[in-house]
Amino acid sequence: MCGIIGAVSSSNVLPVLLDGLKRLEYRGYDSSGLAIIDQPGKFLRLRAPGKLVELERTVSANGDIDGLTGIAHTRWATHGPPTEQNAHPHISGDRIALVCNGIVENHEDLRIWLTDEGMEFQSETDTEVIVNLIRLHMDRGTDFMSAIRTSIKSLKGAFALGILHADEPGRIIGVRRGSPLIVGIGEDGIYLASDISAMIAQTRKFIVLENGDIVDINRGGMEITNLDGQVQHRDARISDLTPQSMEIGDYRHYMEKEIFEQGQAVSDTLEGRITASRVLEACFGTEADRIFNRTENIQILACGTSYHAGLVAKYWLEDAGMPCQVEIASEFTSRKHPTPNNCLVITLSQSGETIDTLTALDYAKQCGYAHSLAICNVPDSSLVRNSELVFMTHAGPEIGVASTKAFLTQLVALRLLSIVMARKDPSTAQDEADSIRELRELPANVESTLKMNSTIQEIAQQFADKQHALFLARGIHFPIALEGALKLKEISYVHAEAYAAGELKHGPLALVDRDMPVVSVAPNDTQLDKLKSNIEEVRARGGKLIVFADSETRLSSRENLQVINVASVESSIAPIIFTIPLQLLAYHVALIKGTDIDKPRNLAKSVTVE
Ligand code: M6R
């Protein structure tokens, strides 16, 4: 979603802003813009719809641009289409420039009021009300900072802002309410950004602003205050990220790189979390032992791919004797909940900034849910900071919009959790040492599964002229089918639906014909015989099947049935392994279709609006 980068520096900020925008691209956007104070009292503003290359063209056409203070923005359109006029920064009265990530919920009322007060609007955006509101207060005699404070108090919604005053070069005001915003402290300047990746070429030292913080960045340093002007102390930290860890290397796409990093990511996520025979439950937090002992049931909340990881976990946790509910985060907040006793709320999120998941966690707390655990890939994210217990997946930065290695490492985390929970119920008689051995073998199994790449590349050709696909699976692999379908539709724009295979004859079988490829995963588990019947039901109706099958299933290719063997693994880790061919299939189909794989249309990596 929208991204912010701002800089106050001792040298020209233009290259810093353009580099920052490039690094923010992965978040998803459809227009971009920047404003630089190129001489006291004057902004140079350039904006362009479409990809960043369009803005770069506009910049080049403007000759030499030089300024020591600037803000820039990638916009993911919400209010108003992605046009130049709607792109940020928005400027009011040639004096104040502002960029925003988030949504102003009461923008309609404010726009009417501001118009009545004589303010003019140039765009359809909700953001423009903020900049006009600040200017109105200043026109009435309020100073810049007080005008910002007064304006923020009348806004509803979640947002992060970067604000410049043309008469004050060397100064940027940042505001955080809900949406993420951090300050970078470099040798040559101070930076403001939506995430650390945007400023990683300048500095690794950063401060995470808290909700309600207002940072006043100036040449002398910075000061953080709250809405009432009281000074707030925030510690600076050093990020683990390096510019190198964000490089694409020899890969064609970040998604490809991230799929192939999964063996290492799984290994990194396990490291220090297990002994030869035991999961170290302190990896969920120092209070994990006490909280887990009290836990009687689990509620998982997440969105998209992370939600699918939650669905897999339900099978593992309930197998371990722990009742578990899983819900799409944005749906959880839509109704009242009778509060279950001693319920642990688990939120799953790659980014830790997904607003639906954050809101659902807040709502669960209001409803009286006892404890919270976040399983997340981004340290210092809002979700991590709002949760009692935390398990960090060590997947490394995930840039491709389609989540891959974050999903696999979430599954590893949830598998570890289910092993810990199984200790509570001796009747499940799970052998922890066996489960650990299976996990230890996992990185090698991931690596060998990735060797299916060239086979899957050939299979993907069958989708070259296809518009639709069905995914089928049973039991714990049904969520894997959901994930396979999501990957395919997200990056190749092929319409894909996943069904529990038992549901086939209750409706979707009507869709099956020669033009509807049917993809299935067939592990060697208790559901296999039933799945084989479902496969035959498709074949009998002329459907063409592609089945990724455990080599022990003795499924073999015949007319309308193409079987691709996957190395046989224990059923406890099979969902992790069977995810990989489906990721590779989506990737290769998207390559054939020629889509923008890392930045699929209309999507954002970090979804920070509800
Ligand atoms: O950062 P999160 O895990 O909270 O993100 C949730 C979803 O937006 C995300 O998984 C989305 O579905 C992915 N693009 C799927 O590949």
Cβ count near 292 (within 10 Å): 21
Same fold, 2-246 and 248-449: no
Report the Cα–Cα distance between both ends of the chain, in Å, rounded: 11
pLDDT tens digits for range 461-481: 999 899 999 999 999 999 999
Judge whether residue 224 has pLDDT over 90: yes
Burial annotation 157-193 (CB, 10 A radius, 16+ → b, else e): bbbbbbbbbbebbbbbbbbbbbbbbbbbbbeebbbbb
Give 303 Cα–ligand 1 centroid separation in angstroms: 6
Q: What per-residue confidence (pLDDT) applies to 242?
A: 83
Domain 248-449 CATH assignment equals 3.30.1130.10: no
Instruction: Determine if ligand 1 sits within 6 Å of the CB of residue 350.
Output: yes
List the residue whose alpha carbon is closest to atom 16 of ligand 1: 402
Contact yes or no for 91/131 (Cβ under 8 A): yes
Instruction: Determine if ligand 1 sits within 6 Å of the CB of residue 299.
Output: no
Determine whether 290 is exposed, middle or buried from the number of CB atoms within 10 Å of its CB (0-12, 13-18, 19+). exposed
Judge whether residue 428 has pLDDT over 60: no
Give 51 Cα–ligand 1 centroid separation in angstroms: 22
The mean predicted confidence, pLDDT, of the chain is: 94
> Which H/E stretch holds residue 63?
none
Domain 2-246 CATH assignment equals 3.60.20.10: yes
pLDDT tens digits for range 493-552: 999 999 999 999 899 889 998 889 999 999 999 999 999 999 999 998 889 999 999 999
Say how far apart CA 14 and CA 18 lie, in whole Å. 6
List the residue whose alpha carbon is closest to atom 7 of ligand 1: 304
Q: In the structure encoding, which two tokens stand for residue 93, read together?
A: 């009265």
Q: What per-residue confidence (pLDDT) applies to 427?
A: 65
431 band by pLDDT with thresholds 50, 70 and 90: confident
Q: What per-residue confidence (pLDDT) applies to 178?
A: 85
Judge whether residue 288 has pLDDT over 60: yes
Q: What per-residue confidence (pLDDT) applies to 455?
A: 97
Judge whether residue 429 has pLDDT over 70: no
What pTM was computed for the model? Answer: 0.87
9 band by pLDDT with thresholds 50, 70 and 90: very high
Q: Which residue has the higher pLDDT, 603 or 165?
A: 165
By DSSP bridging, strand 324-328 and strand 297-302 are parallel
List the residue whose alpha carbon is closest to atom 4 of ligand 1: 349
Contact yes or no for 254/26 (Cβ under 8 A): yes
Sheet holding 343-349, edge to edge: 324-328, 297-302, 343-349, 371-376, 389-392
Average pLDDT over residues 583-592: 98
Percent residues over pLDDT 70 in the chain: 99
pLDDT tens digits for range 305-328: 999 999 999 999 999 999 999 999
Cβ count near 454 (within 10 Å): 9
Residues labelled as active-site residues: 2, 605
Contact partners, residue 134, CB within 8 Å, separation at least 6: 92, 96, 98, 144, 147, 148, 151, 163
Instruction: Determine if ligand 1 sits within 6 Å of the CB of residue 189.
Output: no
Percent residues over pLDDT 90 in the chain: 85
pLDDT tens digits for range 230-271: 999 999 999 988 888 888 999 999 999 999 999 999 999 999
Contact yes or no for 270/440 (Cβ under 8 A): yes
Average pLDDT over residues 7-20: 96
**How is the chain split into domains, by residue range?**
2-246, 248-449, 451-598
Q: Which atom of ligand 1 sits closest to the CA of residue 302?
A: 4
Give 607 Cα–ligand 1 centroid separation in angstroms: 8
Judge whether residue 331 has pLDDT over 60: yes
- Of 487, 465, 572, 484, nearest in space to 523 by CA: 572
- Of 114, 86, 110, nearest in space to 100 by CA: 86
Give me Rg for the CA atoms of the chain.
Answer: 26
What residues form DSSP beta bridges with 326? 300
Domain 451-598 CATH assignment equals 3.40.50.10490: yes
Mean pLDDT is lowest, of 57-66, 279-288, 600-609, for 600-609
pLDDT tens digits for range 64-114: 899 999 999 999 988 999 999 999 999 999 999 999 999 999 999 999 999
Say how far apart CA 593 and CA 466 lie, in whole Å. 10
pLDDT tens digits for range 382-394: 999 999 999 999 9
Q: What per-residue confidence (pLDDT) applies to 430?
A: 55
Judge whether residue 346 has pLDDT over 90: yes
Q: What per-residue confidence (pLDDT) applies to 609?
A: 77
Say how far apart CA 192 and CA 162 lie, in whole Å. 8
By DSSP bridging, strand 42-49 and strand 31-39 are antiparallel
Give 369 Cα–ligand 1 centroid separation in angstroms: 24
